[in-house]
Amino acid sequence: MEQGGDGKTSGKQARDESARAWALKSAGVFGDAVKKRREDIPLTASELADRTRALGYPITRAAISKIENNLRNGKLDLAEVIVLSAALEVPPVAMIYTGLPNTLQDVLPDREVPAWDALRWFTGEANGLPEGWDPLFDLATGDAGALAMRYEYKAPPIYQRPENDEYRLIELCREFTRELHAAYKSTSAASFLHNTDPEWFERFKEVVDAADKRLSKITDQLELLGANLEEEPLQTFDEDEDGEG
């Protein structure tokens, strides 16, 4: 009985140590990225702190130093990730998964994958966690002695991807944005050709109508998922002045 208890304790300790090591390593990757980007600009830690203050969430020079040197036991606030990335003018996800595309990173404890695969999962582009390594057989010899990395963006996954509304919502938002941009370009071209080339105008009008139908279909699907499609009005300087007046 005592041996069984010791086994459970040692197993839990191993998991805890693995979790702490992963958190520490992940925070270190972000800290290294902050330091590299800051020095590339270049900025001093004090100047970066000033930028965070201007963004409305002050991060002190001392805190930045601790983040860069990974001196906080793997602790990292989401607010710090967002604000530091904004201050350094880079996407937050590029500060979390560095060495794109193929540098191996621990997306979870004991799960090492290429940075690009991890990034695509983080942004919702890949509908599931990347798996990592697959054994590949030499079809000519049957040799399975070597392992090769299967990249998610080069080959379809062999595992079952989860299907849920959150992933679908992200996918539909991407489709909506693409169609909206395509419709805008076609509309601009049609407007330009309206008085110069009636034949091409009619062709572009057909493209615009088709894009509008696709947008309508995507909008219906978004509404079924409970998406917020309301457009908040942007406040202009004129509106500001009127309000003050």
CA distances from 76 to 29, 73, 198 (A): 11, 9, 59
Q: What is the pTM of this model?
A: 0.70
Give the C-alpha separation, 116 to 133, whole Å.
14
Each residue's pLDDT tens digit, 63-107: 999 999 999 999 999 999 999 999 999 999 999 999 888 788 899
pLDDT tens per residue across span 193-203: 666 666 766 77
Indicate the residue type of 192: F
Work out the number of other CB atoms within 10 angstroms of the CB of residue 72: 15
Encode burial over 226-238: b for 16+ CB neighbours within 10 A, e otherwise: ebeeeeeeeeeee
CB atoms within 10 A of CB 214: 16
